[in-house]
Amino acid sequence: MSLNRNSNPGETNNQIKADIGLFEFVALMALMTSLVALSIDAVLPALSQIGTDLEITDPRQTHLIVSLFFFGMAFGQLYYGPLSDDKGRRYAIISGLIVFAIGSLVCIYAESLEVMLIGRVIQAFGVSGPRIATLAVIRDKYEGEAMARVMSFIMMVFILVPMLAPSFGQAILFWFSWQYIFSSFLIFGLLTGLWFFIRQPETLPKEKRLPFSWLQLWQSSKFILTHKLVMFYTLSSGIIFGAFLAYISSSQTLFQHVYDTGDLFPVYFALLAFSIGFASFINGTLVIRLGMRTLCTWAMLGWLFFSGILTVLCFVNQGVPPFWQFVAVLFCAFFCIGIMFGNINAMAMQPLGKMAGLGAAIIGSLSSLVSVPTALFVGSFIESTITPIAIGFLGFGVLSFVLYWNATKS
């Protein structure tokens, strides 16, 4: 029996005409989903240069180039989720990549921070199309253990992107200016889109599409937004991710300005990204045996423990702990957050049943809308010490745990 759901005889003309091989499918889906991570992490080494060229007086304002990307994704997911169910996966992916290309062009020719931020929001809105619709394509083609297998292969490729993207951006800066980083996004999106357009047929036949309905959107949204368990998990996830996003958006400042790591910044960023990827692998091997809730609870407690250690180190060392202590504690804390993310989102999705597609869009959007203000609040205090990050990790970690604990009791 084939693992592919669409390989059954008697399919209609709207079904897939021919399947691409597993290796090619995994590579294509991984590249499509990695556009988000590439668009965020490759820009990090260039933030100082962008700030100088755009005459940004407060370095903290450059953090908005990362933080507001998630703001654009919050609305993009809400749009492209229902669109992919109505118009098909190919329409959502190709149209999203076109919007992503427009945003990239705006960033390339930006001469002020305001225009740059507009371009980043447009980029993020567009890249939500491939992000949401790619998951739907995988769900269309595979189910059960076969889907888990394919997702594991995709995650193995995807994990490499946050590790390598800053080095990719740093390499471009060595030879060219920051505008070429955004040009590379344009080229990468174009080539990936062409590959998808030529090789991957539509996976959602017309007879299975769901016409967009404001009434259905309202009823489904009302159910999701008034479901206590879903909301507690979603808010908990958004808050803890907001604290983590504060680190991502300020990482270039922390490593290159506070610790003066220079061109080694991408190396240390990759090391900490590896911790999250390694945690995802460990979680995949343990979650069936131990359960999502057990793993997530221990990960939450671990996050609070290591955030507390980092806070103590900051107060003992006038806000700047010894570098290797800082990296070691973050490595352990990020391992905990790698366990946490996948499980808490999966627990939020569990009660949604048939509205899983719209539920994923609403949960992702709401989580982003919560995380962005959290990150901006923490980032506003970062100047020349690590203390705001440490206190943000600990304080918002406690709030996240309270919401999570209430969800487990619902």
Q: Mean pLDDT across the stretch 64-92?
A: 87
Both 90 and 173 in one domain: the answer is: yes
108: in domain? yes
177: in domain? yes
Write down which residue in 161, 179, 204 finishes a domain: 204
Of 142, 165, 169, nearest to 154 (Cα)?
142
Q: Of 5-14, 136-145, 336-345, where does mean pLDDT reach its minimum?
A: 5-14
Q: Work out the number of other CB atoms within 10 angstroms of the CB of residue 269.
A: 25
- Structure confidence at residue 15 (pLDDT): 38
- Output the domain CATH number for residue 248: 1.20.1250.20
10: in domain? no
Q: What does R_g of the chain's alpha carbons equal in angstroms?
A: 21
Q: How confident is the model at residue 50 (pLDDT cuts 50, 70, 90)?
A: very high
How many percent of the chain have pLDDT more than 70? 89
- Structure confidence at residue 148 (pLDDT): 57
Residue 335's region, left for phi above 0, alpha for psi from -120 to 50, else beta, is alpha
How many domains is the chain partitioned into structurally? Answer: 2
Q: Which two tokens stand for residue 270?
A: 């990759």
Both 320 and 345 in one domain: the answer is: yes
- Structure confidence at residue 397 (pLDDT): 93
- Structure confidence at residue 194 (pLDDT): 94
32: in domain? yes
Both 168 and 287 in one domain: the answer is: no
Kindly report the length of the chain: 410
How many percent of the chain have pLDDT more than 90? 34
Please give the mean pLDDT across all residues of the chain. 84
| Nearest-angstrom CA–CA distance, 125 and 138 | 21
Write down which residue in 204, 231, 251 finishes a domain: 204
Both 172 and 263 in one domain: the answer is: no
Of 280, 282, 285, 334, nearest to 307 (Cα)?
334
Both 332 and 403 in one domain: the answer is: yes
Q: How confident is the model at residue 347 (pLDDT cuts 50, 70, 90)?
A: confident
pLDDT at 341 over 50: yes
| Residue 83 structural domain | 17-204
pLDDT at 10 over 60: no
111: in domain? yes
- Structure confidence at residue 4 (pLDDT): 47
Both 327 and 398 in one domain: the answer is: yes
pLDDT at 100 over 90: yes
Both 276 and 321 in one domain: the answer is: yes
- Structure confidence at residue 356 (pLDDT): 58
392: in domain? yes
- Structure confidence at residue 229 (pLDDT): 87
Collapse the DSSP code of 58 into the 3-class scheme (helix H, G, I; strand E, B; otherwise coil) and give the result: coil
Per the model's pLDDT, the better-predicted residue between 351 and 307 turns out to be 307
Both 351 and 225 in one domain: the answer is: yes
Of 214, 199, 82, nearest to 136 (Cα)?
82
- Structure confidence at residue 82 (pLDDT): 84
- Structure confidence at residue 290 (pLDDT): 81
12: in domain? no
Write down which residue in 204, 235, 253 finishes a domain: 204
Cβ–Cβ under 8 Å, residues 224 and 352: yes
Cβ–Cβ under 8 Å, residues 134 and 29: yes
- Structure confidence at residue 9 (pLDDT): 34
Both 143 and 66 in one domain: the answer is: yes
pLDDT at 201 over 50: yes
Both 124 and 181 in one domain: the answer is: yes
Of the ranges 1-5, 160-164, 280-284, 296-300, the best mean pLDDT one: 296-300
Q: Mean pLDDT across the stretch 67-92?
A: 87
- Structure confidence at residue 357 (pLDDT): 61
Both 147 and 277 in one domain: the answer is: no
Q: What is the largest CA-CA distance in the chain?
A: 70
pLDDT at 313 over 80: yes
pLDDT at 13 over 60: no
pLDDT at 219 over 80: no
9: in domain? no
Residue with tokens 């897939």: 16
| Nearest-angstrom CA–CA distance, 273 and 280 | 11
Q: Of 217-226, 351-360, 380-389, where does mean pLDDT reach its minimum?
A: 351-360
Of the ranges 94-103, 234-243, 287-296, the best mean pLDDT one: 94-103
Cβ–Cβ under 8 Å, residues 92 and 84: yes
Both 199 and 218 in one domain: the answer is: no
Cβ–Cβ under 8 Å, residues 253 and 59: yes
Backbone φ and ψ of 72, nearest 5°? -65, -35
